[in-house]
Amino acid sequence: MTRRTSLDAPQSLYGRSVLGSDLRWLPPKERCDLLIVAGIHGEEADTTIALSRAFRSLGPEEICPNVALVICANPDGIALGTRGNANGVDLNRNFPARDWQPGTTTCLWHVDEAEALPISTGPEPASEPESKALISLIEDCKPEQVLTLHGPLGCVDDPNGSPLGHWIGARTGLPVVSEIGYPTPGSMGTWAAERGLPWITWEFPPESIESISKTQVPVLMDILKRNYSPPLPSA
């Protein structure tokens, strides 16, 4: 399948990064029931690869017209191999939630070690072009639910206990939790919760991209097809 080797699909521009990279998304053909976002942390390139592989493994007619994708929300970070964007800001701590905090927060160098490193939250909420553009995109497309892909904590963070979150947990064998276990001030999920937008964070396990392609990508493919039970909520 030549489709598997290139992302041959119409993409729309929704902004530009600090270094001028295109911020692109694959819009839904109809109303947006589900928006899937990958690559918000540059050191989690496996999420971008996994979502791209899932999309490229399906024919256009197989993909649900109500699903939209942001395959890479932080292209500069992916290119630089850094958690934050080119300004060194953690985009997932830069959202205008009530608990946003100025200065720095911390992140782990290795998830199974105690060493915590400082990382900027930005000079103000939504200071970064990537987070600002993603907020505008979400406000414009008005998804009924958002699924973000992260790693490598190996769990499904679903505070609302949604059918989709439990289905992902059952398919992957990952535990479904109501909180990640540490503070995340200014996160996309907190920002969404304050607006009543259902939000799931799917944390991939600490595996190689090759392994994730075999264990997580087939589950993503079924979500793109809406080939699971129970179905996504609809208005």
- Tokens 């949604």 appear where? 162
From 124, 179, 203, 210, active-site residue: 203
Cα 54 to Cα 47, 69, 71, 205, 212: the distances in Å are 11, 11, 11, 17, 11
Compute the distance between CA of residue 95 and CA of residue 137 in angstroms, rounded to an integer.
13
Cα 20 to the chain's mean position, in Å?
21
Name every residue whose Cβ is closer than 8 Å to that of residue 90 and which is 6 or more positions away in sequence. 41, 83, 84, 105, 107, 119, 120, 121
For the question of residue 203 being annotated catalytic, the response is yes
Name every residue whose Cβ is closer than 8 Å to that of residue 65 and which is 6 or more positions away in sequence. 28, 29, 30
* Residues designated as active site: 203
